[in-house]
Every structure is written in structure tokens, then in C-alpha cells.
Structure 1
Amino acid sequence: MRSKISRLEPRFPTISKRTGISVERLQSISHGSSPSLSELLALGKYLRIPVDAIGEFDDSTGVADMRLRSSSGPEMFYSSEMRVRLITDFILKEAGSNERNIQIEMKASTENLRSIDDTSLVVRSLFHLEEEIGPIRDISKVISDSKLAHVIKLRGFGVDGACVSIEGVNFIFVSAQYAPRMRFTVAHELAHIIFGHCRSRPIIDENIFNDDAGIADDENLANTFASCLLMPVLGITRFIARFKEIFDQKNDSISSVEVAYIARFFGASFEAAGNRLEQIRIIDRGVTASILSEIRKNFESAEAYMRGLPVKENYDEVPVLSPALKKFVRAKIEDGQYSVSRVANIFGYTVNEVYEFIR
């Protein structure tokens, strides 16, 4: 990019008018000075180079180190990490004390499941649920109301989720997709926040259900915590006991129907529910994979299998903005500090959709 800017030196006055960057500053960048984030975005847009292909950011300075890759097309696009940075920068400029989150750092270990279970129950106590071991119906709302984090749903995010804690504000990002997977992702990202994994630098989770045996300890811990948070062990055992009582089942075996009902009751995917049952040793390791294999012989997916259940989903959809952040963005729009079109551009929604999700 620097070489490209240098070759355009005769056009610096025009570029300056188009980007808002002074001629002197353009000369400085062309000779080695690192641009700020806003300068990088302006130059990337003007030069039609994808910004996520030309900048690596130093969190301590807020400037970018430059590299150049050929553009795959004329439109500027953002990587998942760049989108996280754009949104957090956008919100933090106007964030006040009401938008700050409580800063806690808990300890737990994947070598001690009890420690993770106990931590999840502490977090649940902050949610003030009607039933402490019951399902969490609106995970975005309880996280927001407890001031643990702001939850943001993004379309076309390209990864399962992301999170960052910066300047006293905790952000959770989740990709718009199958609702139970979004709920698990939100719980997974919350784990990164409360265990202090994402202080000042975002964590990007491309696939939280990665089966790689070499998965990082932090990711393993976050997945385990998400399972514990959404499906507390006492809640599961009570549900199973009640299920067997209603259907007059005398044996201890767990069928695919019971796994599906547990998943539906706690607002989890079939796979997540099965993995949790394995985790707490109600079923043996590998049983979930075996059941899924059988289900897929007759159904397109476990989700398709669950659609046949005679019970409704026991959860609310994850909104674009969790309640506190929705209130904040709406107030800024009403005060004229944010324009609706700017919010739409930053969050990746249409103007009409912005009006819908801030109502």
C-alpha cells in the first residue's frame, strides 16, 4: 500500500479531499509512518483494497503495520476482526458509565469439571432466574441485565462468534444462524470474558464445535462452561426423572428422543445436549456421535429430527442488540449523535432493519 500511495503523490491534493487526510499526512504515510484506523479505512476505500488485507494492528498504539495483498474484487470488505474493531470503536467513542460492565475474573480448570459447574452456578445467580437450575430463556437479556456484557448479532460475520473486553466494556459478537447454536456461542464467549481471556484484544472463534483433539485449553474451557451454564447438571437430572415418570419408563437408558427433549427444554442443539450428557456421565462417551449417525440416515440433520417434537422451543431469539445496548444506540440516534445510515453501515444491516431492531 505504501508503494501504491507513493506512486500517487502527484494526486495527493485530490486524495486529501476524498479521504479527509492532509497532504502532509499522506506524504508522511508514504514515507513510513503508520496510519491510524480511520486513516487506514479511508485509504482502503479510496484505493479499493480490502482493509483486512493491508493492516495488522498494534493494540498498545492503535496504529497499523502495513502489508499488501491483491484485491479479490473492487468492493471493500471487512474481516471478522475488523468488524469487531469497527463496532467497538464506534460504541466506545460515546459510551458512558451506564454502558460499562462489571469486571470480574473467575478461575476454573478443564481438569476439574466441578470447578466449572460451580462457576456457572455463580454466574447463573447473577442472572436472577425464576428457577436457578432451569433453562435460560433469553440469554442475551440476562447477560445484559446483569451488566456482564453487551451482545451483538451480526449477519455475514463469517465466524461463530467473538468477544473483547476493552475500556471497561465487554462485547460479545455472535453470527446470525441456528438459534441454539447462537445461544451456545454467546455462553462460550461469556466464558472468555469472565475467565479473562479477551482483555483488550478480541478473540475470534471460527468454529466453536471444532473436533480437533488439539483444541486450545481456553476454547475447551469455554465450551465446557457454556454447557454447564445452559444445562446445569441438577436441572438435567430432574428433567430426566420427570420425563421417565410421565412416560412410565423403568430403565435408565437414554434414547435419542430424550436427548432431543433435553435439548429443546434447555434451548441447546441436539449435539450440545448429547455432549453434556456424556460430560456428566449419564451416557457413555461416543454415544452422541452414534445416535447422530443413526438420525442422519433418516433425517437431513438433528435439527430436522427435532422439528418433529410436539413441543415448542423453550427460548427467545437472540436480538441484534441486547437491551442495554439497544437503549444506548436508540438514544444516540434520537439525540442526533448517530445517524441511522451510519449505524446501518457499521452493523451491516439496512436502514429499515435498524429502525426495526431499535424499536
Structure 2
Amino acid sequence: MPAFSQKMGIEEEAVLSVLNNIRSFSFSEISILASKYKMSITQFVSSNEDKLDFRFRSTAENLNQFTADQKVTYIVASLHSLLKKYASPSLIPENWENELTKDTAFVSRLVRYSLLDDDHGRPLLDLALLIAEKLNIFIIVKDIGVDGASAYIDGFAYIIISPRFAPRMLFTLAHELGHLILQHHQSSLFIDYNGVDVFRKKHHNILEKLANDFSTNLLMPEPVFARAIIDFKKEHQIPLDHIGDIDIINASHVFGVSFEAAAMRCEQLRLLPVGSAKSYYEKLLKEFRSPENRGSEVDLIRNKIPIFPNSASVNVLKSTFIAVDKGEISSSKLAAVLGIKLEHLFEIHSRFQDELYY
């Protein structure tokens, strides 16, 4: 806390008193914090969440996490009433049997079949497009200070992803989808404060482990993943007796995930000894600075990367553009909520002009 207070320019005693609900920040302190976190004062102290039927139950333990809460709540609260009016609810099952929600492999297969008309084992590099189109989940890509967050309100499902390395974003997206599909939202907001760590063996929260397991099974189904490794080895005449870093790098490229996620999948399927996934990763960082650099040395280039919207999924844009045209939200406010320049918003709007009313 002393280091944070010094960095922010606010007395440690003042920060602690706010975290302990003894007092609120003063206007000058709010101005400092808003400036440090590159937020407007209105955004930082916004009470728009009161327009929702409930306040999110925050689990923030420090000011950085509290700020992430504020950013996510601002986005969802700003969009929710508009989407309720101009969009349809998300298609998320609400009546899973309790035990079924723990069988992440089975549930992930059901989700794959609901998303894909054929070739149910193919890589899901277009997962963001699929869940917006098939499940009507509302996706926003904006830096919220953490990897990802999700919420489920009045039948409307939201996923917010921070711009990161695209394969990392894909795993985070599937992780947040897991929270939604497995019904982890009970009038609450899920924010992955510490990032989605595929190497984390022990989770303080069982729901985070289940979401990670769901993400792994959804993106890298066991039989398809194993077959991809075998086919690669046969094609390049690589012995089948062990899994090497090149095999894992290729698998990560095929399924659009990070090396870490693919290595952990190998470990889970007992293709690698326990603990070797992280060892491989650390070795590549030490010798090549990244798995991508190692792949480049043997002409393994990631030719296809996961697809994400620039700011928000089409279902978000179409509905909010109708609201802008009807004067229910200003274009400048919408641009601020989505985290894009006003000129960019107008450019996107012009592309949807003929499709807004249907």
C-alpha cells in the first residue's frame, strides 16, 4: 500500500480509510485518481450502476481492483437499458442440473454443437463472432485494467475483454463464456483480477477452476487436439515417443491459443509429465524470449490469429446505434463507453446505416 500511495500521490492513511469504508475520496483525490487511470471524473464516480436492478457485488480487495470494478460497471450500466430496449436477450441456458455444471468437458461439447453447424471439432478462432451471433452474447473489447470480465443481467450476457496478445484473449473469452454457461453469475460481476493463469494449479475459487477447465475443453477438445499433434509429427517425421516444444508451438497455432495453454493441455492429457508445461515455457523465455520466436526459427509462423471486434460485437453496435439515432444516448457518450474516438464511431455507424431498422 505505501508504494501505491506514493505512486498515486495520495496519503496512505486516506487510501486505507476509503477501503475500510470510513470515508469517501475528496474531490481533489478523485481528480488525481481519474487522471492516473486515464478516466474522466464522471466515469470514475459514475452512479449509473444505480439504473440497474441491483448493484454488482464487488470482491475488490485493493484500489486497482476497485477501479476495474468501476470501469466494468460503467460500461454495463451505460449499455444495459439500451440493449434491453433494442436487442433480444442472450441465449444462455438457465436450468442446468447442478452436477452437470461441473462436467466441463460435456458442457463444452454441447456448446460446440450449438455454435457449429458442421465440423464440430474445428478450431474456434472465430469464437467471438460465433457467440455474438449464435448465443447473442454482447462483447466489448476495451482496456479495463484486467484480462476480462462478464456479467449476466435480466437475461442479457456481457463479456468485456481487454486488448492483449490475441491467443491470450481467446482463452480469456472462452473462460468468461464458461462463467456464463456454467451459471456462475448470481446477481454478480465476474472480474479476473489476477488474469487467467493457465499454470495456476490451485484456485482460491472453484468457479475459476471450472471456467478454466471449460475454456480448455472448448478450445482444445481432447481427441481433436491429440490428433493434431500426431498428424504434425507424422507429416514432419518426428518420433512419437515424446512431445517437444515444436509440437506444442504448432498445436498452439492450430487452435489459436498461447503456448502456455497448449502446453498445459498436453500435461492434462498426460502427453507431458506433470510440471513440464511451465518448465518448457520458462526455458523458451530464457533461450528465445518467447515461444513465437522459437517457432520462427523453424519456420512455424502463426498464420491465423483469433478474430475479435475492434470495439464491440455487431449486436452491441446495431442496438446502440438505434439509440443514438433516437437521441437516447449521445454519440460522444457511446464513444466514451466503447473507448473509441468519435470519428471511428461515425465511420462504423455509416457502415450499418442501412441495417439499423429491421
Q: Fold conserved (TM > 0.5)? A: yes
Structure with the larger RCO, 1 or 2 (CA within 8 Å, 6+ apart): 2
Query: Which of residues 346, 350, 358 in structure 1 aligns to 2:341?
Result: 350
For residue 100 of structure 1, the aligned residue among 89, 95, 103 is 89
1:282 and 1:111 map into 2 onto residues whose CA distance is: 26
Which residue is equivalent to 1:292?
281
Tell me how far apart the structure 1 counterparts of residues 56 and 161 of structure 2 sit (CA, whole Å). Answer: 26
SS in 1 for 2:87: helix
Equivalence for 2:131: 143
Measured after TM superposition, the shift of residue 88 of structure 1 is 1.6
- Normalized against structure 2, the TM-score is what? 0.75
Find the counterpart in structure 1 of residue 181 from structure 2.
Answer: 194
Q: Which residue of 2 aligns with 1:90?
A: 78
Q: In structure 1, give the amino acid aligned to 2:202.
A: A
- What TM-score, normalized by structure 1, do the two folds share? 0.74
Once the two structures are superposed, residues 154-187 of structure 1 have per-residue CA deviations (whole angstroms, 9 ceiling, x without a partner) of: 12x1111111100110000111111011111110
Q: Check if 1:316 corresponds to 2:307.
A: yes
Say which SS state the counterpart of residue 163 (structure 1) adopts. strand
Distance (whole Å) between structure 1 residues aligned to residue 129 and residue 52 of structure 2: 32
Out of 168, 185, 190, which is 1:203 matched to?
Answer: 190
Does residue 316 of structure 2 align to residue 329 of structure 1? no
| Alignment equivalent of 2:245, drawn from 256, 263, 277 | 256
How is 1:1-359 mapped onto 2 (pairs within 5 angstroms)? 48=31, 62=54, 79-95=67-83, 96=85, 98-105=87-94, 106=96, 115-155=103-143, 157-206=144-193, 207-209=195-197, 211=200, 213-308=202-297, 309-358=300-349, 359=351
- After TM superposition, give the deviation of residue 130 of structure 1 in Å: 3.9
Q: Distance in 2 between matches of 1:302 and 1:353?
A: 34
Which structure has the larger Rg over C-alpha atoms? 1
Distance 1:295 1:136 in 2: 26
Does the CA contact (< 8 Å) of 2:104 and 2:214 recur in 1?
yes
**Counterpart-to-counterpart distance in 2, 1:44 and 1:129:** 55
- Cα deviation, 1:208-249, whole Å, max 9, x if unaligned, reads 117362431000010111011111112112212211221123
Offset at 1:138?
Answer: 1.1
**1:241-293 deviations in whole A, cap 9, x for unaligned?**
21122112342311100100100110000000111111122222111112112
Contact 2:46 2:74 in 1 (8 A): no
Give 3-state SS (helix, strand or coil) of 2:106's partner: helix
Q: Which amino acid aligns with 2:119?
A: E
1 CA distance for matches of 2:185 and 2:87?
21
**Identity rate of aligned residues, in percent?**
26
* CA RMSD between the two structures: 3.6
